[in-house]
Every structure is written in C-alpha cells, then in structure tokens.
C-alpha cells in the first residue's frame, strides 16, 4: 500500500471481477438477505426485476473481499490501512442477475490528515462496480485510514549494529 503522501487525487485502482452464480446468490441470501427475489427463481420471476437477483449487500461484500485480496498482494512493502471510519452515498443502481460479472474499481476523490491520529491520513474514494455490459450497478464513497510515511518509517526495525564473528 502506498503511504498517505504518495496517494494522489485521481488515482484509480482496479480490484478485479466476480461472476455471481445462482447458487452463490441463494447461499448469501439464505444467510444475510432472505427475500424471495434473492432465494427463488419462480418468486423472482413474478417480482420487480423478473429474475433472480443478487442482494446489494452481496455485491458490496464481494467488493470488500476483492479490495482486501488486492491489498494483501499489491507487492509493496508499505503503509498499513487502518479501520475505515465509514462510507457515504451507497447506491445499488441496477439489479445484478445470476451470471452477471462485475468489475470493481475506486478513484481517489479526496484526502486529509487525520485530526485524531497524527501518523495517519484519511483517503476518500469513489467505489464503483460495472457489469459485463459496462453498466454501472453500484457506487459508494468510502473513507480509509492510511498510514503516513513518517509513521511507517518509525515502525521499521533499526539496522543491526551487530558484527558477526568470523568463522574459525
């Protein structure tokens, strides 16, 4: 992860894609959003969208999983992400049907120093998901705590002053 100072407004991050299967939609719905249009094709056919649809919470949870996976494998020996102070403006713009593939990305729209934690900054990003047809289906503004460069350097171990003994 880049340090707070290295993040620029307008930076775009791609987090990958996910295909929503009927089985996964139903499994998530049974546990977290048990509404008929998420659980049963016949009930969904008579509903507002005319077919089985993924819960908006499911689409958002997949986004979080992809973000976490991207952060764990970004290859940078860098700053830590802290707990998020939250998000704003969550909108599910279109239904996500079984078989749809969503691609997720975020664009940095603002940043500020943390008032309560001097070693951290807060970065705001516009998160979006688009389906395989390029239609936007989800958006939200998320806020993340990102470690500042000085704090990152303070937590690195000091260079060793120990001189190894020569082999005999």
Query: CA–CA separation, 72 vs 66, rounded Å?
Result: 10
Q: Which two tokens stand for residue 162?
A: 């120990």
Q: Is 13 exposed, middle or buried (0-12, 13-18, 19+ CB in 10 A)?
A: middle
Quote the number of domains for the chain.
1
Query: CA–CA separation, 65 vs 144, rounded Å?
Result: 15
Q: What's the CATH code of the domain at 54? A: 3.10.129.10
Domain annotation covers residue 17: yes
pTM of the entire predicted model: 0.84
pLDDT tens track for 51-93:
999 999 999 999 999 998 887 555 455 678 888 889 999 999 9
117: containing domain? 4-154
pLDDT tens track for 8-60:
999 999 999 999 999 999 999 999 999 999 999 999 999 999 999 999 999 99
Query: CA–CA separation, 22 vs 30, rounded Å?
Result: 12
DSSP structural state of residue 78: -
Query: CA–CA separation, 111 vs 70, rounded Å?
Result: 21
Domain annotation covers residue 134: yes
């Amino acid at each position: 992860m880049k340090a707070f100072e290295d993040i620029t407004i307008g930076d775009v991050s791609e987090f990958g894609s996910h295909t929503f299967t009927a089985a996964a939609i139903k499994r998530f719905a049974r546990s977290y959003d048990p509404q008929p249009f998420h659980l049963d094709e016949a009930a969904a056919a008579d509903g507002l969208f005319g077919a089985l649809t993924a819960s908006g919470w499911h689409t958002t949870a997949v986004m979080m999983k992809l973000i976490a996976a991207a952060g764990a494998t970004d290859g940078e020996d860098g700053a830590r992400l802290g707990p998020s102070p939250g998000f704003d403006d969550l909108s599910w713009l279109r239904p996500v049907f079984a078989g749809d593939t969503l691609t997720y990305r975020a664009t940095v729209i603002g940043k500020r120093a943390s008032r309560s934690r001097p070693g951290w900054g807060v970065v705001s990003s516009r998160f979006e998901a688009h389906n395989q047809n390029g239609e936007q289906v989800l958006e939200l503004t998320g806020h993340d705590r990102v470690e500042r460069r000085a704090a990152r350097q303070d937590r690195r171990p000091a260079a060793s002053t120990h001189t190894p003994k020569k082999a005999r």
